[in-house]
Amino acid sequence: MLSPADSSPAASPGETSPALHGVSLRAFLIGLALVPFNVYWVIVAELRWYTILTLNPLFVTPIFYLFLLAGLNAFLRRYAPRCLLRGPELVTIYVMLVLSCTVATHDFIINLMSTIGWPRWYATSSNNWENSMFPHLPKWLFVWDREKLAGAFKGSSNLYRLDIWRMWLPPLAFWSLFIFSIGWIMLCLNVILRKAWVDQTRLSFPIVRLPLVLTGSDEPRPTIQSPALWAGFAAAAALGLINGLHEWYPALPHFQVRAQPLQFPTPPWNLTWPLFLTCYPFAIGLAFLVPLDVSFSCWFFYLFIKAQAVIGYYLGYGNTPDFPYPSEQGIGAWYAFGFFLLYRMRGYLLGVARIALGRPRGSGAHPDAGEPMSYRLAFFGLIAGMLVFGGFWWAAGMSPLWVIVVMGTYLLLAMCITRVRAEAGGQHTVWDLEPMRLFRLFDSRTLGPGNLATAAMSHWYWRLNRSHPMPSQMEAFKLAQEHRMRLRSLVLPMIIAYILATYCGMWACLHVFYTEGAAAKCQGFAVWTGIESYDWLNNGLTAGFKPEAGRWGAILGAASGILFLSAMRSRFSGFPFHPLGYCIGPGLIWLWFPFFLAWLIKFFILRYGGLRLYRRAVPFFLGLVLGDYVSGAVWSLIGVFGDMPAYQIFH
């Protein structure tokens, strides 16, 4: 999992070379201009039409922009070479767009905006929320005027009224402060961990492979000119074109690549639900870049959880609710994985702390000279961000002990997700450690209504974590380093893009709400988030819940499994099971079969063709990703600006 190199934050050679590139004003202004348009595009596509663009680790729209800019560069290279966008400029634009997608996404800002008015709008005399729930919800984080909310839920209304903005601005101002604390905390964590994972352990970072190709980092023999890449592009794009036209003209042929449910009517196989088969070209392409043992472990452990349900039926657990407790297994697995990472990096982290506090070892160049910010600023910035994060939830009603537990868990999970993305690149659907699931392990009466209410309120940003900002920030630094950029020059554009996307995302959601109606025409209105949050809270406040031995047993069993797998990999180099597969495998609901197909293809290529054939095959699979994404982006643009349903490549 970690190499012995993760022991000290020694300075990296060449980090302070004067040849390093900075962020040009031109690139920054282009990125700044594109962020609002990108945010609006994503919000309308995902909120109005539920056309998914940001729920996979490589976001669709930034790749599409990069593809267009690469095409523009091909034109400029021939006719106006002085205007050519250099690699570092392309990286700057791309990174700003990626950071905007970590906010303007279904798993983040749309979830938040869908739940702020939920309790007031859906409170009725029959559910009695006004008496059971409202007293425990902080007034300053919600909107309470049902008459003014009607326009948001029904649509065909005017958002641009002073009284409407007066209702929305106060809670949005508080929530934006919390959102900024998340982005800042993740940035500080990335600065602390970057050298260990990028320079020393040299993780594979599959997600940056395609952006590196499009930004021209592999000159003088660019992969973008590979016939294999364009063959993959043509295959995926043609598939998207055919399937997209089929949406409008059902008589045309159709090749099923999206989710096909596998449902069994009788036990024990009905216990494997939900189970889907998918063949997304982009997912196969991305999974092909993942190390073989990791991709094997991902699909294996997905089926491993399903097999537990079937075996449990024959052992008499068929009627036990939630058996085999996949969520609790996820809690144990992620905690064990995270603590094991911290244990293996203890020497490195102590070294960073020593530098931050002004006591570096040795002489010569300062160890953090080439980092995005100094270790001192990252260290104390992390503490400041945690104080804002913790203070926010304490003010909202969470008890201090649970504030510490929840905040520590969030930071631990962020680190784990970033590590997983750096090694596997796969989609991580992780919500096992969120407060609602952690609190379910205890007695609701002991927790109290304040903790229950804040757990439900926090569900929106914990839900699935597919667009988490921390891995995107780490990948941005990896991409910049490959282009020999000064990492510190990239920090301000990243922060500004994140802040701008927050406000643009809030506005775009409200604009769509009041125009189309959240509960009327918005197919991507996060109904599920509201139901999950406030039905859980209502149940906790009324019926309540108590700890169960089976759930705790699943946690301990999964944690033991992670430690066992880690020990076996440390002792036996050929051990096939990777612990991160146990963490993310069960969450690959939509992607387990593409992981299996990519693993199988890669296995035979390496077995019978060796590394040479594998290297020749990589451009084809990158082309699959690019072709599928370009096709998906074009269809979504047709849907957004043509105001019509259009084909989507995911779900």
What is the identity of the amino acid at 595?
Answer: F
Q: Other C-beta atoms within 10 Å of 643: how many?
A: 11
| Measured distance CA(397)–CA(391) in Å, rounded | 10
Q: Does the pLDDT value for residue 540 go beyond 60?
A: yes
Q: Residue 261 gets which letter from DSSP?
A: E
Q: How far is CA 149 from its chain centroid?
A: 30
* Distance from the first to the final alpha carbon of the chain: 31
- Per residue in 18-74, pLDDT tens? 578 999 999 999 999 999 999 999 999 999 999 999 988 899 999 999 999 999 999
Which pLDDT value is given to residue 18? 55
Half-sphere exposure of 611 (CA within 13 A, CB side): 1
Q: Does the pLDDT value for residue 363 go beyond 90?
A: no
Q: Closest Cα partner for 425 from 597, 286, 301? A: 286
Q: Residue 587 gets which letter from DSSP?
A: G
CA dist 569 → 45, 202, 524, 580, 600 (Å): 43, 18, 42, 12, 22
Note whether residue 12 is domain-resident. Answer: no
**What region, left, alpha or beta, does residue 341 occupy, with left being phi > 0 and alpha being psi -120 to 50 degrees?**
alpha
Dihedrals φ, ψ of 296, to 5°? Answer: -60, -45
Which three-class secondary structure state does DSSP give residue 374? coil
Judge contact between 280 and 624, C-beta under 8 A.
no
Note whether residue 611 is domain-resident. Answer: yes
Judge contact between 95 and 490, C-beta under 8 A.
yes
Which three-class secondary structure state does DSSP give residue 485? strand
Q: Does the pLDDT value for residue 14 go beyond 50?
A: no
Note whether residue 11 is domain-resident. Answer: no
Q: How far is CA 370 from its chain centroid?
A: 27
pTM value is 0.95
CA dist 492 → 23, 84, 95, 370, 380 (Å): 10, 23, 11, 16, 18
- Per residue in 440-463, pLDDT tens? 999 999 999 999 999 999 999 999
| Measured distance CA(572)–CA(429) in Å, rounded | 30
| Measured distance CA(489)–CA(496) in Å, rounded | 12
Q: Residue 95 gets which letter from DSSP?
A: H
What are the DSSP calls for 114-143, one per residue? HHSSHHHHH--TTTTHHHHTGGGS-GGGS-
| Measured distance CA(388)–CA(404) in Å, rounded | 12
- Per residue in 75-102, pLDDT tens? 999 999 999 999 999 999 999 999 999 9
Q: Which domain holds residue 407?
A: 25-642
| Measured distance CA(475)–CA(209) in Å, rounded | 10
Tokens of 364: 């010569």
Which pLDDT value is given to residue 220? 59
- Per residue in 232-245, pLDDT tens? 999 999 999 999 99
**What region, left, alpha or beta, does residue 634 occupy, with left being phi > 0 and alpha being psi -120 to 50 degrees?**
alpha
| Measured distance CA(260)–CA(272) in Å, rounded | 14
Which pLDDT value is given to residue 10? 60
What are the DSSP calls for 270-289, one per residue? GGG-S-EE---HHHHHHHHT
CA dist 13 → 10, 19, 352, 366, 368 (Å): 9, 13, 18, 11, 12
Q: Closest Cα partner for 140 from 163, 121, 168? A: 168
Q: Closest Cα partner for 203 from 94, 390, 345? A: 345
Q: What confidence tier does 15 reach under pLDDT thresholds 50, 70, 90?
A: very low
What is the identity of the amino acid at 600?
Answer: L
Tell me which of 222 and 402 has the higher pLDDT.
402
Tokens of 635: 């269809």
Looking at the 3D structure of the chain, how many domains does it have?
A: 1
Which pLDDT value is given to residue 525? 96
Partners of 260 in the beta sheet? 277
Q: How far is CA 494 from its chain centroid?
A: 17
Tokens of 206: 């599959």
- Per residue in 416-446, pLDDT tens? 999 999 988 876 788 899 999 999 999 999 9
- Per residue in 463-512, pLDDT tens? 989 999 999 999 999 999 999 999 999 999 999 999 999 999 999 999 99
Q: Other C-beta atoms within 10 Å of 569: how many?
A: 17
- Share of residues in the chain with pLDDT > 90 (%): 88
Note whether residue 650 is domain-resident. Answer: no
| Measured distance CA(390)–CA(398) in Å, rounded | 9
Q: Does the pLDDT value for residue 569 go beyond 60?
A: yes
Q: Does the pLDDT value for residue 17 go beyond 70?
A: no
- Say if strands 276-277 and 260-261 run parallel, antiparallel, or are unpaired: antiparallel
- Per residue in 404-416, pLDDT tens? 999 999 999 999 9
Note whether residue 647 is domain-resident. Answer: no
CA dist 450 → 219, 386, 446 (Å): 58, 20, 11
Q: Does the pLDDT value for residue 185 go beyond 80?
A: yes
| Mean pLDDT, residues 170-184 taken together | 98
Q: At a CB cut-off of 8 Å and minimum separation 6, what does 618 contact?
A: 209, 223, 288, 289
Partners of 485 in the beta sheet? 21
Tokens of 636: 């979504």
Prior bond of 326 cis (ω within 30°): no
Q: At a CB cut-off of 8 Å and minimum separation 6, what does 387 contact?
A: none
| Measured distance CA(58)–CA(55) in Å, rounded | 8
Where is 260: in which H helix or E strand?
A: strand 260-261
Q: Other C-beta atoms within 10 Å of 390: how many?
A: 18
| Mean pLDDT, residues 552-571 taken together | 95
Judge contact between 595 and 298, C-beta under 8 A.
yes
Note whether residue 15 is domain-resident. Answer: no
Which pLDDT value is given to residue 364? 57
Which three-class secondary structure state does DSSP give residue 136? helix
Note whether residue 5 is domain-resident. Answer: no
Which pLDDT value is given to residue 433? 94
Judge contact between 423 and 291, C-beta under 8 A.
yes
Q: At a CB cut-off of 8 Å and minimum separation 6, what does 604 contact?
A: none
- Residues comprising the chain, all counted: 651
Dihedrals φ, ψ of 444, to 5°? Answer: -65, -30
Q: What confidence tier does 361 reach under pLDDT thresholds 50, 70, 90?
A: low
Note whether residue 19 is domain-resident. Answer: no
